[in-house]
Amino acid sequence: MKSIEIIMLPVKDQKKAKEFYLSLGFQVVVEAPGAHGDTWIQMGLPGGETTLSLAGFHAILCETADIEAEVKALAAKGIAVGKIDETPWGKFAWIKDADGNSLCLHQK
């Protein structure tokens, strides 16, 4: 893993959440139809690399250059990683920590 790319924040009302983060100085990076019929809203601070996604659940997406090698290395450490999903937005593999928090590897 080389960086935290996106922090997904669970929100009840995307429109209100978007307005709140805009008032804090965030900018819309992406606003588009999501994969599951919802809207994907991704926001970031000017010049920042890590962004927020206003979503229905919490997760942290970590960017990796080689998801297959990353999954293999984590498995060697005894860390369970879900299957690698290939999408138009890249490859993704999910991990849950001991408390059920979601981490996701993402290769662009």
What whole-number distance in Å separates Cα of residue 102 and Cα of residue 55?
13
CATH number at residue 75: 3.10.180.10
Question: pTM to 2 decimals?
Answer: 0.88
Q: How many domains does the chain have?
A: 1
Q: Residue 55 belongs to what domain range?
A: 3-107
| pLDDT of the chain, 108 residues: tens digit per residue | 899 999 999 999 999 999 999 999 999 999 998 877 789 999 999 999 999 999 988 999 999 999 999 999 999 999 999 999 999 889 999 999 999 999 999 999
Q: Map 13-73 to HEC letters.
A: CHHHHHHHHHHCCCEEEEEEECCCCCEEEEEECCCCCCEEEEECCCEEEEECCCHHHHHHH
**Which tokens hold the place of 66?**
């080689």
